[in-house]
């Protein structure tokens, strides 16, 4: 085992496998969009695939909408936003998307150790704060897709990205590093020792300001610390992980 595996991880065994990251399937080139197309991000193959396991998920296909299918939009309704067909707003798929999100997120744990999720921006199912709500009306604003919004509520600690956040090598490097750290922490399961983890990653990343020893603040602190390090500092850290 390399020097870095022994010294960078609380659980060196977690470095043996690539961290697991879910992704909107269309971003990985799967032809699942409403028109049978995709939105493949070519640079993911070069920058992310050597380090991460990317698992493709298309919630609209998974709830049985098929390809091709009618386009969807998000509208405000009395009891919250709804995802409906553009041409027939009576066709409402919100509940199916929410149920699918619930069943997906119930799997997270040691046997589905998800460390991050990459979503397609602006999608009525997958967008994270970028989806047009009430599009093309005076009441338009932005919100999240039904599936992505439910994932965020179910697992507020899970780092969420859209493909537009990952357009530079530096941003991809930050994601890789965060996923390795998340995997290391997730491995601890119910035995999470926040103090030990904090001390470990504080040594690695410099001082981390964390108010309580549970996972979510630590991950937020790690992410904030990575941002504060700037491009050069992040690059140096990621290089350490790359030689694992």
Binding-site member from 14, 18, 24, 131 for ligand SF4 (CB under 6 A): 24
Binding-site member from 41, 51, 52, 59 for ligand SF4 (CB under 6 A): 59
Binding-site member from 108, 126, 176, 221 for ligand SF4 (CB under 6 A): 126
Q: Is residue 123 near ligand SF4 by the rule CB under 6 A? A: yes
Asked if 60 and 72 touch (Cβ cutoff 8 Å), the reply is yes
Q: What are phi and psi of 9, to 5 degrees?
A: -110, 140
Q: Is residue 25 near ligand SF4 by the rule CB under 6 A? A: yes
Instruction: Supply 155's token pair.
Output: 């697992």
Binding-site member from 58, 114, 160, 198 for ligand SF4 (CB under 6 A): 58
Quote the crossing angle between the two packed helices 215-242 and 194-205, to the nearest 10°: 40
Burial of 190 (0-12, 13-18, 19+ CB in 10 A): exposed
Binding-site member from 41, 125, 131, 144 for ligand SF4 (CB under 6 A): 125
Q: Is residue 84 near ligand SF4 by the rule CB under 6 A? A: no
Nearer to ligand SF4, 162 or 184 (CB): 162
Q: Is residue 120 near ligand SF4 by the rule CB under 6 A? A: yes
Nearer to ligand SF4, 72 or 185 (CB): 72
Asked if 146 and 73 touch (Cβ cutoff 8 Å), the reply is no
Instruction: Supply 65's token pair.
Output: 């909408």
Stretch that binds ligand SF4, among 23-31, 78-86, 194-202, 219-227 (CB under 6 A): 23-31
Q: Is residue 96 near ligand SF4 by the rule CB under 6 A? A: no
Tell the smallest beta-carbon distance from residue 8 to ligand SF4 (Å): 33
| HEC-encoded secondary structure of 132-194 | EECCCCCCCEEECCHHHHHHHHHCCCCCEEEHHHHCCHHHHHHHHHHHHHHHHHHCCHHHCCH
Tell the smallest beta-carbon distance from residue 76 to ligand SF4 (Å): 20
Side-chain-side CA neighbours of 197 within 13 Å: the count stands at 25
Residues near ligand SF4 (CB under 6 A) are 24-26, 32-33, 58-60, 120, 123, 125-126
């Amino acid at each position: 085992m390399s020097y870095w595996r022994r010294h960078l991880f609380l659980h060196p065994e977690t470095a043996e496998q690539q961290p697991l990251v879910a992704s909107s399937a269309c971003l990985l080139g799967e032809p699942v969009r409403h028109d049978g197309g995709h939105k493949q991000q070519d640079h993911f193959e070069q920058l992310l695939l050597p380090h991460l396991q990317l698992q493709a998920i298309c919630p609209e296909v998974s709830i049985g909408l098929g390809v091709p299918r009618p386009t969807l939009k998000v509208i405000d309704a009395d009891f919250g936003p709804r995802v409906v067909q553009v041409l027939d707003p009576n066709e409402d798929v919100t509940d199916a998307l929410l149920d699918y999100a619930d069943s997906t997120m119930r799997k997270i744990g040691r046997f589905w150790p998800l460390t991050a999720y990459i979503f397609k921006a602006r999608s009525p199912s997958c967008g994270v704060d970028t989806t047009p709500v009430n599009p093309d009306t005076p009441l338009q604003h932005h919100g999240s897709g039904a599936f992505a919004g439910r994932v965020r509520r179910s697992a507020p600690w899970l780092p969420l990205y859209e493909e537009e956040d990952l357009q530079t090598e530096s941003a991809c490097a930050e994601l890789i590093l965060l996923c390795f750290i998340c995997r290391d922490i997730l491995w601890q399961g119910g035995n999470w020792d926040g103090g030990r983890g904090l001390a470990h990653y504080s040594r690695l990343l410099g001082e981390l300001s964390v108010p309580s020893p549970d996972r979510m603040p630590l991950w937020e602190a790690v992410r904030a610390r990575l941002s504060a390090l700037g491009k050069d500092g992040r690059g140096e850290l990621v290089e350490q992980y790359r030689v694992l």
